[in-house]
A and B are shown apart, each in its own frame.
Chain A
């Protein structure tokens, strides 16, 4: 698989995410995620497919059971958990990159690692507090932090899809906050 293929696939996945936000339809989000994951699996330096597939299957099974078994009135409380888990994954990935390759030499990549670690940790903390305080007001901030953590990861790995997804998530959550503040008035 040539490397020329990757930016093109990333662009299509990013377009799918934009369409998902435009039509508020999760089918586009599924398409974007599948394209992004398949592209990541086709990279020439990815070998251990077993570990990856086992991780995806176990994670998917645990999440499916938890969400399916939750009572309908408690579903909204799962959203901060969701964001916190995404932020935690970004944080862990950035830590792993720091351990394996050290601090990147390029300025943007180094800034991305710092951004990812800071906002990833912040999102985990915010998710924990949102879980126990049951205030919805923290949710936009939480999404903002997760978005910046994902974008930071994208700058570190110079991955277009992570940068675009992070920007989309961060700004979408921040603008959801402004609208919510108006509707409360």
Chain B
């Protein structure tokens, strides 16, 4: 992939992230949104999978396996955590968090 495409994609993503989250966070909902953002960051599991991929065993494959474990733990944890935090919001404030 050309360097310029990667840099432009990064800058566009930075702009989109700042634009989408800015000014939309009442204080109580911040935890739920940050947990959701954590789910996105856990996509690092993609890199770990590519590292575990090869057939032959090596130390880098072991590191990749550990990374798969941690990253997938982060994926599941953040998704369940987001649900539980949203349920908590619904219980205390009585309004639908969107």
Contacts and interface: CB of A to CB of B under 8 A. Distances in A.
Given A143-B34, A180-B27, A96 B40 contact: no
B41 A163 contact: no
Q: Is the interface of A mostly helix, strand, loop or mixed?
A: helix
B17 to A, nearest CB: 4
Given A43-B53, A168-B17, A33 B64 contact: no
Interface residues of B, number: 78
B64 A96 contact: yes
A128 B33 CA distance: 21
A99 B76 CA distance: 28
B10 A167 contact: yes
Q: Is the interface of B mostly helix, strand, loop or mixed?
A: helix
A97 B51 contact: yes
Contact of B60 (A76, A97, A154, A161): A97
B53 A46 contact: yes
Interface size class of A (residues with CB under 8 A): 35 or more
B1, B24, B81, B97 — most chain A CB neighbours (10 Å): B81
B11 A40 contact: no
Given A72-B84, A82-B42, 15 more contacts: A21-B37, A24-B36, A30-B79, A33-B39, A43-B53, A52-B49, A56-B68, A66-B77, A82-B81, A85-B77, A90-B44, A92-B64, A164-B12, A167-B12, A176-B21
Interface of B: 1, 3, 6-7, 9-18, 20-25, 27, 29-55, 58-61, 63-85, 88, 97-98
